[in-house]
Structure 1
Amino acid sequence: MSGFSFTLDATCGKARTGRISTPRGEIRTPAFMPVGTAGTVKAMLPDSVAATGADILLGNTYHLMLRPGAERVARLGGLHAFMNWDRPILTDSGGFQVMSLSDLRKLTEDGVTFKSHIDGSRHMFSPEKSMEIQKLLGSDIVMAFDECPALPAPRDRIEASMRLSMRWAQRSRDAFGDRPGHALFGIQQGGLEPDLRAESAKALKAIGFDGYAVGGLAVGEGQEAMFACLDTACDMLPEDRPRYLMGVGKPDDIVGAVARGIDMMDCVLPSRSGRTGQAWTRRGQVNLRNARHADDPRPLDEACTCPACRSYSRAYLHHVVRSGEMIAGMLLTWHNLHYYQELMAGIRAAVAAGTFAGFEAGFHAARAEGDIPPR
């Protein structure tokens, strides 16, 4: 595809590092995509998100379609100009939000009719409508429209859903058309059933996409089951295309997914945790609401160079979290995103050096130590 390409630079076991090239810039893989649901990464300025090391953001088709409206975003220059982000953007298809947020959802072969969670207005999503909305938004990477059942679910439900998603994948491909500089990713489904995952991958490869996502995971099945699925699911997808695990996740989810061949991930966790007083560090998760931090003059993480760690104490962070001050969410979100991007940079360097297994062991060893002792 003109203007979009994927280069695989190195592998270490199943772990990979490479580059996705787009007209709006290069995406270093493995890549973590901060989530800008409604045209903003909550509590962050776009320049601040870029400063953490993010090469690409995720925007949400469902939320942006409902408010402010895709047509309005298009009139105002597209999502990049609208939210002041000049790097690549990936938009999801809206299918997951329709499943998880909407009331009175009605599923047919044509698509999904649903009521808005905002005002109760009725809308219809189909593969063609999803492609139209994502084109209006102007995203660089577009996701095919799919249906994603929550797990656990009966096999016959998963099988029917996967086959419907594959028919919708073909319709998404047809509706996407020829858009140089923009990419379309297909989404593998099939729950935790290896044979259904294989059938889905075969169907997607026959259609042909610029990248391939592993969908339908991180929806209640647990990490052990997710990793067991990824052990085989990644191998079913083309080696010369990016592999994207949707909606993941915690740092140990990310490291485990990379070890199994994943190149891209996204999750609301760093920003959502930051707004609730939770920080992610090399030693695991830290709850700044805890009274143990009230008199602690030390930084959250002495090795971290983000503004929260460079300029503020644990005592101050504890104070603003407990006081409900806006700066608490701002500082902790910045820290969390910085930590996630630092983790991705470490992963990329380790894969390139052929030392990923040692990196993975060190990652788990540091987390096992737990947070620094109280003062």
Structure 2
Amino acid sequence: MAALTFELQASGLQGSKARAGKIRTDHGEILTPIFMPVGTVGSVKAVTQQQLKQDINAQIILGNTYHLYLRPGIEVLEAAGGLHRFNGWDRPILTDSGGYQVFSLAANRKIKEEGVMFQSHIDGSRHLFTPEYVMDIQRAIGADIIMAFDECPPYPSDYSYARKSMDLTHRWLNRCFEQLARTEDKYGYTQNLFPIVQGSTYKDLRKASCEFVAEKNAVGNAIGGLSVGEPEEMMYEFTELCAENLPADKPRYLMGVGTPWNILEGIDRGIDMFDCVMPTRNGRNGMLFTTQGLVNIRNKKWAADFSPIDPGLPNEMSQYYTKAYLRHLFVADEILGLQLASIQNLSFYLWLVTTARGHILAGDFSSWKQEMIPILKQRL
């Protein structure tokens, strides 16, 4: 067993803050920048683990503490030997602490110093998440990277609330570290804690939170509380501010972001890790991300278009099936359509960050990004 390490391989080329690196975990290496498919309940929707590896080339996936705690439950996961053995995924896993999900239940939860009392969205049963318990749950799930329990304030938040929320998050972070020090890694491999920066959209709070987090000297750090409704330019501004105030020798994870152009802009500002439900959620609704632009596959214009789903994507599925066939599957309400669209979008996202990495290493990321973003935004 060895703690997570990060090797910075390239940065600061062509005037960009984009970085290429390598994260090492006990379940394998992760080449950054990286996009992490979201498998909320231990499953990336409509996609098998084999497809994630062979077709999509995902290097790490996410699980969610809140949802896995409720279903299948910690007892089942422990009996299985952790989530890796339960779902058959043998590469790295990151677990979100469940803070965002708990705090989204605004009408059914109560925040206090101890933690958060909430009602299950499934059956209304009441549960208490404390920082200590959330660490224990994530230990039991068995993720390689576990996230601190934090409060994610809504946008907009007034300064007083944002400050109070940030201070609570910091106190909870101390308790997370203390609980991990009292407990041992499970299942024979290292579990690594990432703190989360908060502070809403106030520069002084964000800087203070970055400084508090940096002092913990964790193996990696996350930026939370963005992509929650604020304008894109504000998200970019605060992403850059946080990246500048977090350690350069540790991976930086921007949580819950976002569109392909959001990801490229984040990379340009020094972010290494991303996740978002957008590729699979949009795919299930017929919206495809492609190397040529955005495709609404339900549109009648594709009914007799027998070109590949995405001729520019080096993926067998994207080359094998046609737009006309995929549209037919959606119109006929066939489950296969949801699966193919999800694979297309996830394959595209992984292609995007892999290609970005290549351009970072080649030293021409900035010029490539400027050419790529207008293409990604155009509607075909």
- Stretches of structure 1 that go unaligned for 5 or more consecutive residues are none
Counterpart for residue 292 of structure 1: 301
RMSD, aligned CA? 1.4
**1:273, distance to aligned residue in structure 2 (A):** 1.3
Question: What is the one-letter code of the residue matched to 2:311?
Answer: E
* Distance across 2 between alignment mates of 1:287 and 1:307: 21
Q: What whole-Å deviation, never above 9, does each CA across 1:308-342 have from its counterpart, x for those lacking one?
A: 42221111111101111000011111111110010
**1:102, distance to aligned residue in structure 2 (A):** 6.1
2:179 to 166, 175, 182: 175
Question: What is the one-letter code of the residue matched to 1:123?
Answer: H
Question: What is the one-letter code of the residue matched to 1:264?
Answer: M
1:154-233 counterparts in 2 under 5 A?
Answer: 154-177=158-181, 179=185, 181-233=190-242
2:324 to 294, 315, 323: 315
1:89 to 86, 93, 113: 93
Between 1:101-110 and 1:29-38, the stretch displaced more is 101-110
Q: Is the 8 A contact 2:2 2:190 kept in 1?
A: yes
Answer yes or no: is 1:59 the counterpart of 2:68: no
1:114-153 counterparts in 2 under 5 A?
Answer: 114-153=118-157
- 3-state DSSP class of the match of 2:29? strand
Q: Is the 8 A contact 2:294 2:377 kept in 1?
A: no
Q: Is the 8 A contact 2:135 2:179 kept in 1?
A: yes
* Distance across 1 between alignment mates of 2:116 and 2:100: 11
- 3-state DSSP class of the match of 1:35? coil
- 3-state DSSP class of the match of 2:84? helix
Question: What is the one-letter code of the residue matched to 1:47?
Answer: Q
- 3-state DSSP class of the match of 2:37? strand
Counterpart for residue 39 of structure 2: 36
* Distance across 2 between alignment mates of 1:127 and 1:176: 10
Answer yes or no: is 1:49 the counterpart of 2:52: yes
* Distance across 1 between alignment mates of 2:25 and 2:116: 31
* Distance across 2 between alignment mates of 1:303 and 1:248: 24
* Distance across 2 between alignment mates of 1:85 and 1:113: 32
Q: What whole-Å deviation, never above 9, does each CA across 1:210-254 have from its counterpart, x for those lacking one?
A: 111010001111211100111211111001111000001110000
**1:364, distance to aligned residue in structure 2 (A):** 1.9
Q: Is the 8 A contact 1:248 1:265 kept in 2?
A: yes
What percent of counterpart residues are identical?
Answer: 45
* Distance across 1 between alignment mates of 2:64 and 2:105: 13
Q: Is the 8 A contact 2:105 2:118 kept in 1?
A: no
**1:357, distance to aligned residue in structure 2 (A):** 0.7
- 3-state DSSP class of the match of 2:233? helix
**1:106, distance to aligned residue in structure 2 (A):** 0.4
Q: Is the 8 A contact 1:306 1:334 kept in 2?
A: no
Q: Is the 8 A contact 1:247 1:265 kept in 2?
A: yes
Return closer, same or farther for 1:151/1:102 CA change in 2, 3 Å cut-off: closer
**1:370, distance to aligned residue in structure 2 (A):** 4.3
**1:366, distance to aligned residue in structure 2 (A):** 2.4
Counterpart for residue 17 of structure 1: 20
Question: What is the one-letter code of the residue matched to 2:190?
Answer: G
Q: What whole-Å deviation, never above 9, does each CA across 1:23-70 have from its counterpart, x for those lacking one?
A: 110011111000000010011110111121211000000000001102
Q: Is the 8 A contact 1:297 1:315 kept in 2?
A: yes
**1:283, distance to aligned residue in structure 2 (A):** 2.7
Q: Would you say how many aligned residue pairs link Structure 1 and Structure 2? A: 371
* Distance across 2 between alignment mates of 1:131 and 1:171: 9
Question: What is the one-letter code of the residue matched to 2:279?
Answer: P
* Distance across 2 between alignment mates of 1:346 and 1:215: 26
Counterpart for residue 256 of structure 1: 265
* Distance across 1 between alignment mates of 2:102 and 2:266: 26
Q: What whole-Å deviation, never above 9, does each CA across 1:92-142 have from its counterpart, x for those lacking one?
A: 111000011464210000100000001100001110011000000010001
* Distance across 2 between alignment mates of 1:306 and 1:53: 10
**1:173, distance to aligned residue in structure 2 (A):** 0.8
Counterpart for residue 275 of structure 1: 284
Return closer, same or farther for 1:322/1:77 CA change in 2, 3 Å cut-off: same
**1:367, distance to aligned residue in structure 2 (A):** 3.1
Q: Is the 8 A contact 1:103 1:116 kept in 2?
A: no
Q: Is the 8 A contact 1:20 1:29 kept in 2?
A: yes
Q: Is the 8 A contact 2:294 2:378 kept in 1?
A: no
- 3-state DSSP class of the match of 1:299? coil
After TM superposition, the runs of 4+ consecutive aligned structure 1 residues lying more than 4 A away are: none
User: Which TM-score applies when normalising by structure 2?
Assistant: 0.95
User: Which TM-score applies when normalising by structure 1?
Assistant: 0.96
